[in-house]
Amino acid sequence: MRFTSEQIEKLKINPHVSIVCERTAVLMSSSFRILFEVWKKDRSVDAVRAELNRISLDKILGDEYLSALLWDFRKNNYATSINNVKDHAADVALAASGIFQPRGNSLSWDPEVKKELLEAYPRQSFEEGIIKLGLSPKIVGSQRMSALKQTIRQREQRAAKAEAEMQKDAVGTNKETEPNNADAYIYSLHPYVKEVTGSKRIIMTDMFFNEASVLRDLPTADILRIYEIDPVLLSAANISQIRNELVIWKKIGSFAIPGNDQSVRIQSNRMNALVKYTDELFEEIKKASVGISPGSKKLLCKQLSEYPTSLNYPYGYSMREILKKAGISKTTYYKALNCSGYGMAGELRKERDERDLAVVMKVVDYKGFEKGLRQIYMMMPDITGEQFAISKIRRLLRNAGIKTKVRGENPARQRAREFHERNTKTNLLKREFRLHRPNEVRLTDVTYLDYGHNDDGGKNRAYGSSCIDPVTGKLLAFNASENNDVELAMETLDRLSDHPTMIGALFHSDQGILYLIDEFQAKVAEMGMVQSMSKRGNCWDNAPQESFFGHFKDECHYEECETFEELQMMLDEYAYYYNHERHQWNRCRMTPIEYEAYMEAMTDEEFEAYMEAEQAKYANMKKNAEKKAIERAKTLGV
Q: What is the pLDDT of residues 297-346, one digit of tens each?
A: 888 888 888 888 877 776 678 888 888 888 888 888 888 888 877 777 77
* Range 554-581 average pLDDT: 94
- pLDDT at position 409: 66
Q: Please give the pLDDT value at position 306.
A: 83
Share of the chain above pLDDT 70, in %: 93
224-230 long-range contacts, CB within 8 A, separation 24+: 226/266, 226/269, 226/270, 226/273, 227/192, 227/266, 227/269, 227/270, 228/190, 228/262, 228/265, 228/266, 228/269, 229/187, 229/190, 229/192, 229/193, 229/202
Domain 422-601 is found in CATH 3.30.420.10: yes
Whole-number mean pLDDT of the chain? Answer: 86
pLDDT grade, residue 76 (50/70/90)?
low
Residues of the chain above pLDDT 90, percent: 38
Picking from 23-27, 181-185, 256-260, 345-349, which range would have the lowest pLDDT averaged per residue?
181-185
Strand order through the sheet with 505-509 = 474-481, 460-469, 441-451, 505-509, 529-533
Is the separation of the CB atoms in 229 and 266 below 8 Å? no
pLDDT greater than 90 at residue 492 = yes
Q: For the segment 342-376, what is each residue's pLDDT rounded down to a tens digit?
A: 777 777 788 899 999 999 999 999 998 989 999 99
* Confidence label for 638 from pLDDT (cuts 50, 70 and 90): low
Residues paired with residue 463 on neighbouring β-strands, in sequence order? 448, 481
Please give the pLDDT value at position 408: 66
Q: Biggest alpha carbon distance in the chain?
A: 123
What pLDDT band is residue 561 in, cutting at 50, 70 and 90?
A: very high
Alpha carbons 240 and 582: distance in angstroms, whole number: 94
Rounded Cα gap, residues 27 and 19, in angstroms: 7
> Which residue would you say has higher pLDDT here, 68 or 58?
68
pLDDT of amino acid 318: 87
Average pLDDT over residues 611-618: 91
Name which residue leads in pLDDT, 494 or 1.
494
Note the pLDDT tens digit of each residue in 468-479. Answer: 999 999 999 999
167-176, 410-419, 621-630: which range is least confident on average? Answer: 167-176
Average pLDDT over residues 146-150: 81
User: Which pLDDT does position 351 carry in this prediction?
Assistant: 87
Q: Are 336 and 342 in contact (CB under 8 A)?
A: yes
Reduced to 3 states, what is the DSSP secondary structure of residue 109? Answer: strand
What pLDDT score does 479 carry? 94
- Which residues does 611 contact at the CB level (< 8 Å), separation at least 6? 435
Model confidence at 166, pLDDT cuts 50, 70, 90, reads low
